[in-house]
Amino acid sequence: MGRKSIYIQITNETKAELVNTEKHHSNFCVRHRCKIVLLYVDGYSVASIADIMQTNIISIYKWLHRYNEEGIKGLLTKSGQGRKPILKEQHLSIVRKTVEQERQRLQKARQIIEAEIGKPLSHSTLTRFLKVITAVTNE
């Protein structure tokens, strides 16, 4: 049993806005989703769009439905997506104090920080956080 086709009616202004968003938006995912809608409006089948965009058919239908319901705003990535950070801004003082005390033994500093914040912390997460701290303070 196949899926029902989606009817998307689009004006010239809306198409121009989609093209502009597809070319100039800072987020690759949003550009990718705009391209999906534009291809569909141009008459491509969902299966051929999936081949062109190298994604699955279910994703194509999902973005077409979201566009149909919400317009271009539906193609944007909603907040709260992705993995939540382990170290936050509130942990900044703990990390700085601990690294200053144990600057030659980062493994020991990581163990102290883990005990302070109550969460497991990998070495790479700590070094990534330290790079962000130094980048912000060097500006």
Residue 56 CA to residue 131 CA, distance in Å, equals 37
Give the model's pLDDT for residue 20: 95
pLDDT average per 10 residues of sequence, the chain (139 residues) = 73 94 94 96 94 95 95 89 82 88 89 91 88 72
The residues, ordered by sequence, that sit 6+ positions from 2 with a Cβ below 8 Å of its Cβ are: none
**Residue-wise pLDDT tens digits, 87-118:** 888 888 888 899 889 888 989 999 999 999 99
Give the model's pLDDT for residue 138: 63
pTM above 0.75, yes or no: no
Joined together, the tokens standing for residue 102 give 């144990």
Give the model's pLDDT for residue 40: 95
Q: Are 56 and 40 in contact (CB under 8 A)?
A: no
